[in-house]
Structure 1
């Protein structure tokens, strides 16, 4: 016999029940990881980038993704979902590689991987969340974040073309 979990007494009606909670909570954790990675790599690039436009982009990523992470954290609290507090292992490894680079090599790698690559992945994650999440608040958050991430992706692709040409 499978075990069932009941909502604790006093739980808010906004809490996600059972299987829905697990799936939507996983999406919230993935969105949090994406934001944490952008903040961490953005801080690194704001310090290490040599191209002023790359530095500016990096600072924008820190600012925008910090705001987005705050929104994810607020929603997660209302849904009783525990979120990660640091980037996942994949992004930690990417950051370790980035830290070893300098100059235009750093700029190119940051823009290509964190700027373009990570935003492509985040765009897919948000589109999937928007279409498959069962909780209306989780769907709404993904829908709110999607145009911002798409704007970042467009900007990153423009920067990628610029730094790749150098």
Structure 2
């Protein structure tokens, strides 16, 4: 094979091989890394706040919503970890301090229920907007797929949160 043709064919073969094996050719963008880090912190916060509902809530719906937050956000955290690993994104190893959880931990009963409902409504409004943006972005395939897959669950949480005590605007 002549040298010029070889110089053109070799990169094409390497690219085809990488695509065929599922290796990403596109570099992960700073926006993808920022989304993944923000989503990881949000999942950790929702899990921590959800756990508080078991011991601080009075309303059965708040307790049930808290249990759901722990289950769904633990699953989302696992999915994000997989997507981030496949995309070469390093997530925060330990959750940062969470002032919202600290504030809610000082409340009990109906006061907790109202503050929890308000927090969940606001958190899920922000999360839905963040995940919608990432799902529609031209970013990394794994992170984008994770956002698109997780979005319906977050939209369901958003709708559920609107019926919690203290959640009305």
TM-score (norm 2): 0.79
Q: CA RMSD in A?
A: 2.1
Q: 1:94 is matched with which residue?
A: 100
Residue 141 (structure 1) aligned with residue 146 (structure 2): yes
Q: 1:13 aligns with which of 23, 44, 49?
A: 23
- Cα distance in 2 for residues equivalent to 1:16 and 1:37: 31
Q: 2:50 is matched with which residue?
A: 42
Q: 2:124 aligns with which of 97, 119, 128?
A: 119
Larger displacement relative to structure 2 (129-138 or 143-152): 129-138
Q: 2:31 is matched with which residue?
A: 23
Residues 54-93 of structure 1 mapped to structure 2, 5 A cutoff: 54-89=62-97, 92-93=98-99
Larger displacement relative to structure 2 (46-55 or 119-128): 46-55
1:13 to partner: Cα distance = 2.4
- Cα distance in 2 for residues equivalent to 1:15 and 1:81: 15
Q: Radius of gyration: which is bigger? A: 2
